[in-house]
Structure 1
Amino acid sequence: MNIRMKNEKEWSLKEYDHDKAAALAKELGISEFIAKLLVIRGFDNPVSAADFLSPYDYSFCDPFLLQDMDKAVARIKTAIQKGERILIYGDYDVDGISAVSALYLYLHSKGANVCYYIPERLTEGYGLNNCAIDKFAAAKIDLIITVDTGITAFSETEYIKEKGLDIIITDHHECPEVLPQCACAVINPKRRDSLYPFSELAGVGVVFKLICAIDGVENIRSLCEKYLDIVSLGTVADVMPLYGENRRIVTHGLTALNKGEHVGIGALLDCALPDNSGGQRRITASTIGFAIAPRLNAAGRIGNVKHAAELLISNDAERASVIAQELCALNRERQAIENEILTQAIEKLEAEFDFEKDRVIVLCDDNWHQGVIGIVASRITEKYGLPSILVTFSGENGKGSARSIQGFNINDALGACEKNLLKFGGHEIAAGLSLEKSKFEEFRTAINDYARDIITDEMRVMHVSADCEIEACEIDLDHASQLSLLEPYGNMNPAPVFILREAVVSNITPIGMNKHLKLTLTKDGKNYIALYFNKNPDDFGILEGYTVDVAFNLEINEFRGNRSVQMNIRDMKISGDTADYINRQAKDYLRAIATFAVSKENLPDMQAFRSTFVYLRTASKQSGELDIGKAAADISHEFSINVTPCMLNIMFDVFAEMGLVKFERNTLNDIDFTLPDVEGKVNLESSKFLTKLKNSSY
């Protein structure tokens, strides 16, 4: 019998062919450690594995394999030669901002009469709009080039043609069956008639192909050096799969970023990650994801998006520093707004959501910030393991953001409810929508009716997919250094996850204002440092001395010139002797409530009752969620008595019988409780349950 912890994640280990890994190691002259990880990732033959291990070459696909590329190049070259006014129109996310910046820098370097326009998220929304087009016509723009947008802009392209302007569409989103007919060219690797061998380019990746086509593929090396630092930003931020061309784009981009020559990005990193270690800062795809992208996105969410583009275009170090500080301040403001909305959303959810009946969390408010609700929806989905939709209303109309879980296509779900919506669009995991306030409740009912037969309990369980188990002796600098061969990490090429079995937790230290934990794990006589981010010590549920299995990423920590191996924990489970003990305690408790037979070790006396009640009243503020194992250990330590998990479960039953506690069990090791107001003294000796246990104790 295994006792499942609340919100415990399912672990899965990938299978692989050991013989293929050994053969691959011999053929390529690499370690079996790396060969094993390559085979697990599907690169199980020398050709595919060698290609994966060679992301620094320049074997990019021919840009002219993209449909309409020849038409686009011809029209742009004509515009440059004639001095026509070119306007680049982009999206307000990092992909769009970086696409605008890269194309602007390139065309400007060629002497083009070029400007750019990025719509405001709150006032204009996504994509082309007629009001903006009117401005372009009045400004005598001759050619519009869209980046990261435009593939569904049918009426807008017709309006552009009516105004006498030309338009070239470059995009990477899913294509409709019929493309906009009024464009000079429509470049999209997802076109149904596409001959291009790689369809997963970001919007800025499509722009890079356009730049290569205009300049000539013979100049690919210099183009990579000049533009892939910016191109890599949008590719990573838009969570594009990091294989094929994207792997080469990001690899070359990170090389450029680590040279530190880009004025704007350097200023942003100096502000976001001030380097106090005295060493050289190493920029990875993760740096883009957690340090650069959120700050660029903050401009589009709650500030002036043009500042983000200006930062990427600027060569003025002083101006770049000012903008970088503004973006960092905006990001801090965004974080505060996000946390406030998250708190409000969880309160609404706990009050309104039927966890037994409903499968999609749908919440609304009149005061939520439209630019932030998508991030909050992601956090709610991660926390509860369910799709979530957050809507903010302004007057009678509202806009919303949806996030989903694996196996539930949120865009299809919105399509099934389109009669309740004004507009929707997106992908399998994320989408946007708009609707009338009067349709909100009907929409909430409809999408839950749709989801009820699709989302199973199994789909709601969070998963950790591990590459392989690892021995403690392999947790060293040599193996951690070898992992750099697999970088850059990202979508479809995640950092390897390893499992270490039956390590002992020797020390637990809260860090980062109690937001994170630093652990010392002991295995085979050696100690290993492990960090557990976003894990509050109060709800950790694991104590010093516990034996655990650990799922983790293996990394190198560099500080003041010193390099050490570090485990970054993804998940942790009680195992070994500790798991056996907890399972025995659970069995003892189940036997006690079924037969009233209990060992004297697990039978509480009055001192145990008094100490436990004091603990509940003071430590947990008379209500809350309680980890039985941790609470039993805390009470034992605080009051110098022996309280077992079985004993604590029994005491809760006695307290409840006598009206001292109200509680609900989430699992045998996790309960939610409250202490109601009770007048007068209560004689626990009069408990019928306790009396039966005493009479049957052994």
Structure 2
Amino acid sequence: KLAASDLGFALGPRLNAAGRLDDMSVGVALLLCDNIGEARVLANELDALNQTRKEIEQGMQVEALTLCEKLERSRDTLPGGLAMYHPEWHQGVVGILASRIKERFHRPVIAFAPAGDGTLKGSGRSIQGLHMRDALERLDTLYPGMMLKFGGHAMAAGLSLEEDKFELFQQRFGELVTEWLDPSLLQGEVVSDGPLSAAEMTMEVAQLLRDAGPWGQMFPEPLFDGHFRLLQQRLVGERHLKVMVEPVGGGPLLDGIAFNVDTALWPDNGVREVQLAYKLDINEFRGNRSLQIIIDNIWPI
């Protein structure tokens, strides 16, 4: 049975991959196609593009984390707002990269890639408390000509600038964010709907939550928390942590998965108990349905 999450996390990224790496008309052609054979060919092409996008993104993340480490060493702490650039980054993936780094360090991020003719294109992602477009507009007022153009909204923006203006922009953006943003907002916050009892960890409750969707902006899917015994843990797909857990206070054994974990920290066979922030979900595979949890945050105890 198709769920909203399938559109957001399976179909959406594949359709977007065409526009990010190649030609978005491939995705449009698939949506308009009424021949199953042709549709499968187009779907396979999109899937291959999405796999390439993942590989590019993974390499860019490694490079971005290295840049963050260098920044932190040179300043003793990361600036309130991060602007980063690498000459080999891909224009179509900098938005995803900015989002990943924002989630990792809990601060506004703008990632840049070469755009030809000595210019850079950047994509920014913000956090609650800083309106990204307003910040860029203020920078444009204070330093006219530093940016060639910009646009966006509160949580995301795009811009372009000349390559030789990047270091100036990096400095001024960091300064402005530090001035505008309450430092407490840089710590990150996990807002939970509380723990589930053992009696609530059921397929029936998971189905009710699924049927209550679609969830989204300003209407987030319920996020629960709890203390669990960590019985099994292993990596799947290189960056995802597959676990089996059991509530410390008693309850069912649960399969769970945490996406895009820090592989320098997980798996850790020395960890026996964890605190989790998670979503209750139904896993559907080859016609079988089972209860699982999608782990947003995992902390060793």
Please indicate, yes or no, whether the TM-score normalized by the shorter chain is above 0.5: yes
Quickly say closer, same or farther: Cα 1:504–1:433, change in 2 above 3 A.
same
Quickly say closer, same or farther: Cα 1:348–1:558, change in 2 above 3 A.
closer
Q: Which residue of 1 aligns with 2:244?
A: 519
Quickly say closer, same or farther: Cα 1:443–1:318, change in 2 above 3 A.
same
Q: Which residue of 1 aligns with 2:181?
A: 455
Q: Which amino acid aligns with 2:232?
A: I
After superposition, the C-alpha distances for 1:78-106 in whole angstroms (9 at most, x for unaligned) are xxxxxxxxxxxxxxxxxxxxxxxxxxxxx
2:19 is equivalent to residue 294 of structure 1:
no
Give the Cα–Cα distance (whole angstroms) in 2 for the partners of residues 572 and 367 of structure 1.
33
- CA drift of 1:407 comes to 0.9
- CA drift of 1:433 comes to 0.4
Which of 262, 272, 280 is 1:554 aligned to? 280
After superposition, the C-alpha distances for 1:312-365 in whole angstroms (9 at most, x for unaligned) are 112122222221111111111111122222222222232245353621111223
2:93 is equivalent to residue 369 of structure 1:
no
The answer (yes or no) to whether the contact 2:80–2:186 under 8 Å persists in 1 is no
Which of 190, 194, 197 is 1:464 aligned to? 190
Which of 39, 45, 70 is 1:320 aligned to? 39
Quickly say closer, same or farther: Cα 1:558–1:298, change in 2 above 3 A.
closer
Give the Cα–Cα distance (whole angstroms) in 2 for the partners of residues 471 and 555 of structure 1.
15
Structure label with greater radius of gyration = 1
- CA drift of 1:571 comes to 2.5
What do you get for the CA RMSD once the two structures are aligned? Answer: 2.4
2:249 is equivalent to residue 530 of structure 1:
no
Quickly say closer, same or farther: Cα 1:297–1:510, change in 2 above 3 A.
same
- CA drift of 1:401 comes to 0.9
After superposition, the C-alpha distances for 1:111-164 in whole angstroms (9 at most, x for unaligned) are xxxxxxxxxxxxxxxxxxxxxxxxxxxxxxxxxxxxxxxxxxxxxxxxxxxxxx
- CA drift of 1:559 comes to 4.2
Give the Cα–Cα distance (whole angstroms) in 1 for the partners of residues 135 and 18 of structure 2.
31
Q: Which amino acid aligns with 1:318?
A: G
After superposition, the C-alpha distances for 1:11-67 in whole angstroms (9 at most, x for unaligned) are xxxxxxxxxxxxxxxxxxxxxxxxxxxxxxxxxxxxxxxxxxxxxxxxxxxxxxxxx
Give the Cα–Cα distance (whole angstroms) in 2 for the partners of residues 536 and 446 of structure 1.
30
Secondary structure at 2:159 match in 1? strand
Quickly say closer, same or farther: Cα 1:344–1:308, change in 2 above 3 A.
same
2:132 is equivalent to residue 407 of structure 1:
no
Q: Which amino acid aligns with 1:305?
A: M
Q: What is the correspondence of 1:248-327 to structure 2 with a 5 Å cutoff? A: 282-327=1-46
Q: What is the correspondence of 1:632-647 to structure 2 with a 5 Å cutoff? A: none
Q: Which amino acid aligns with 1:529?
A: L
Quickly say closer, same or farther: Cα 1:496–1:398, change in 2 above 3 A.
same
Percent identity, aligned pairs only, is: 33
Using the size of structure 1 for normalisation, the TM-score is 0.39
The answer (yes or no) to whether the contact 1:508–1:544 under 8 Å persists in 2 is no
2:225 is equivalent to residue 508 of structure 1:
no
- CA drift of 1:452 comes to 1.4
Q: Which residue of 2 aligns with 1:336?
A: 55
Quickly say closer, same or farther: Cα 1:404–1:310, change in 2 above 3 A.
same
After superposition, the C-alpha distances for 1:619-648 in whole angstroms (9 at most, x for unaligned) are xxxxxxxxxxxxxxxxxxxxxxxxxxxxxx
The answer (yes or no) to whether the contact 1:530–1:569 under 8 Å persists in 2 is no
Quickly say closer, same or farther: Cα 1:402–1:538, change in 2 above 3 A.
closer
Q: Which residue of 1 aligns with 2:199?
A: 473
- CA drift of 1:462 comes to 2.2
Q: Which amino acid aligns with 2:257?
A: Y
Quickly say closer, same or farther: Cα 1:424–1:458, change in 2 above 3 A.
same
Secondary structure at 2:179 match in 1? coil
Give the Cα–Cα distance (whole angstroms) in 2 for the partners of residues 573 and 332 of structure 1.
29
Q: Which amino acid aligns with 2:243?
A: K
The answer (yes or no) to whether the contact 2:68–2:78 under 8 Å persists in 1 is no
- CA drift of 1:556 comes to 2.4
Give the Cα–Cα distance (whole angstroms) in 2 for the partners of residues 343 and 545 of structure 1.
29
Quickly say closer, same or farther: Cα 1:408–1:475, change in 2 above 3 A.
same
Give the Cα–Cα distance (whole angstroms) in 2 for the partners of residues 407 and 302 of structure 1.
32
Which of 414, 434, 439 is 2:160 aligned to? 434
Secondary structure at 2:123 match in 1? strand
Q: Which amino acid aligns with 2:256?
A: L
Using the size of structure 2 for normalisation, the TM-score is 0.87
Q: Which amino acid aligns with 2:255?
A: A
The answer (yes or no) to whether the contact 2:108–2:127 under 8 Å persists in 1 is yes
Give the Cα–Cα distance (whole angstroms) in 2 for the partners of residues 331 and 520 of structure 1.
31
Quickly say closer, same or farther: Cα 1:360–1:522, change in 2 above 3 A.
closer
After superposition, the C-alpha distances for 1:503-552 in whole angstroms (9 at most, x for unaligned) are 433x1231415631312214444432131313357514684543x44322
The answer (yes or no) to whether the contact 2:57–2:93 under 8 Å persists in 1 is yes
Quickly say closer, same or farther: Cα 1:542–1:522, change in 2 above 3 A.
farther
Quickly say closer, same or farther: Cα 1:326–1:355, change in 2 above 3 A.
farther
Give the Cα–Cα distance (whole angstroms) in 2 for the partners of residues 360 and 435 of structure 1.
17
Q: Which residue of 2 aligns with 1:386?
A: 107
- CA drift of 1:427 comes to 0.9
Which of 64, 77, 80 is 1:356 aligned to? 77
After superposition, the C-alpha distances for 1:248-303 in whole angstroms (9 at most, x for unaligned) are xxxxxxxxxxxxxxxxxxxxxxxxxxxxxxxxxx2222111111111111111111
Quickly say closer, same or farther: Cα 1:320–1:406, change in 2 above 3 A.
same
Give the Cα–Cα distance (whole angstroms) in 1 for the partners of residues 258 and 91 of structure 2.
28
Quickly say closer, same or farther: Cα 1:499–1:365, change in 2 above 3 A.
closer
Give the Cα–Cα distance (whole angstroms) in 1 for the partners of residues 201 and 122 of structure 2.
45
After superposition, the C-alpha distances for 1:217-241 in whole angstroms (9 at most, x for unaligned) are xxxxxxxxxxxxxxxxxxxxxxxxx
- CA drift of 1:425 comes to 0.2
Secondary structure at 1:291 match in 2? helix
Give the Cα–Cα distance (whole angstroms) in 2 for the partners of residues 415 and 374 of structure 1.
19
